[in-house]
Chain A
């Protein structure tokens, strides 16, 4: 099964995007596989609402290990399955917590093997540091897209043209994970690269 990963800075809405995308693709429940470094991987089944409540937080670094879920993306009359891996937020500096550092290392590892990379950003923050590094890496990859999240919030739409210019030739998908807009574009992108 091909793997798609969702990466970005802490608190840009990676997990919410993943869960709401699952819902958008018609999933009522999600089976999430956690892959902590210390201990065996385990799976847990959530309803969409539960997943949102349990996995999404307003503080950074709620996601401490790779969380994978399998999504079915309709393609023609059939479906293709894809493992979507939600990752730990990446930051510029060396993080003091070894657990977070480990999770980040796992995240970068999964970047190396993913076929699809959804790079989530808040358009209000100019691309810099780690975001630029992800973008530059992504521009060499076929299945990379820059996901401009939080489009429902003020000030974001104005910054979009700038992002599109910076991302070229990679595509920019404008979404609001919270308001669930633009998810159709994400689906179309997945479909193209599965």
Chain B
């Protein structure tokens, strides 16, 4: 309760305007002026502050919004996703303004389907989206509740609705992120998954203004899932495709991940990593992990562990040695060589 919204008046003597209002408070205290006079000064100064909105510090919500967009932009690749998120934000803002002007405003149905392979950034984007929706005031909390079939579907009659409602309750004011959403329709007609869908759909209606549901999963499976449940398509008007990352993007992700962990890799290690990533792309049936940031993370974390194993017990390690990932660390376990 210590943090108050100070958006109207910059605290303590910041800039000419701040000092002017501070001044009137001081005079009021010293008995040099009346309350009425102070209020008049205040009215004039806030009227001026509103006329030149960029003079004071931005509202904290705006700052948070900028931060969220920055974070979004810092994600590697995902250009189409970024564009869509911006579109969405613009849409919300404009619909609001239209409503204020008394124009017909589209209802804001923000339930979404995220389609893409694992590790293509669906959860990350959902989390950022939650913050953006919070900053724009659509969602109160903007938090993300992740769940999957097992969290929603129960084991006996009546259990499912109860479990699903529990998850919904947790997600109110934020985003309910259903991973592998298609799995809800897995068991056929008699499966409780159907009940979970029904409960979810009902909650989406009941809590229109305080819940965003995101169903995420593999592209094809999600497509089938939506087609087999005709009512769902219209309830999830926003469908975002998460393409696999390209090899270059994966390498960039690797660099970022290493940087964040304060490691560097030698050019040879880089080459090995590249080859291993390429290898995954060449697998017959198209490895679903091939365009996948999680694959990169796993490879890197493995390399970090192997570097540790290589270094442990050695005396006099330099800072550079502690930071460097070499080709041997990055190499595939089975062959122990640089080739994947």
Contact = CB atoms under 8 A, between A and B. Distances in A.
A83 B1 contact: yes
5 shortest A-B CB distances, which residue pairs? Answer: A133-B39, A133-B36, A105-B29, A105-B28, A112-B9
Contacts of B8: 112-113
Interface in A68-113: 68, 70, 75-78, 80, 83, 90-96, 98, 101-102, 104-105, 108-109, 111-113
Contacts of B40: 133, 136-137
Interface in B50-105: none
Contact of B35 (A3, A75, A92): A92
B21 A94 contact: no
A92 B5 CA distance: 28
Interface in A105-160: 105, 108-109, 111-113, 115, 129-130, 132-134, 136-137, 140-141
A142 B7 CA distance: 14
A33 interface: yes
Given A3-B4, A70-B1, A105-B25, A134 B210 contact: no
Interface in B102-142: 140-141
Interface string B1-41: 10111111100000000000100111011111111101110
Contacts of B21: 112
A101 B1 CA distance: 25
Contacts of B1: 1, 33, 68, 70, 83
A175 to B, nearest CB: 23
A94 B172 contact: no
B209 A76 contact: yes
Nearest to A131: B36
Contacts of B173: 78
B310 interface: no
B283 interface: no
Judged by DSSP, the binding face of A is: mixed
Contacts of B317: none
A137 B39 contact: yes
Nearest to B34: A94
B42 A111 contact: yes
B207 interface: yes
A2 interface: yes
Interface of A: 1-3, 33, 68, 70, 75-78, 80, 83, 90-96, 98, 101-102, 104-105, 108-109, 111-113, 115, 129-130, 132-134, 136-137, 140-141
Given A76-B207, A78-B140, A101-B28, A130 B4 contact: no
Given A113-B5, A137-B42, A130 B35 contact: yes
Contacts of B266: none
A60 to B, nearest CB: 14
Nearest to A141: B46
B210 A104 contact: no
Given A77-B172, A113-B7, A140-B43, 9 more contacts: A78-B172, A78-B173, A92-B34, A98-B29, A108-B35, A112-B21, A112-B42, A112-B46, A113-B9
25 contacts: A1-B4, A2-B5, A3-B5, A68-B1, A76-B209, A77-B172, A77-B210, A83-B1, A91-B35, A98-B29, A101-B29, A101-B30, A101-B31, A104-B35, A105-B26, A105-B28, A105-B38, A108-B39, A111-B39, A111-B42, A113-B5, A133-B39, A136-B39, A137-B42, A140-B46
A101 B209 CA distance: 45
Contacts of A112: 8-9, 21, 42, 46
A130 B42 contact: no
A91 B36 CA distance: 8
A108 B42 contact: yes
A104 B30 CA distance: 11
Contacts of B32: 94
Contacts of B35: 90-92, 104, 108, 130, 133
B47 interface: yes
B221 to A, nearest CB: 32
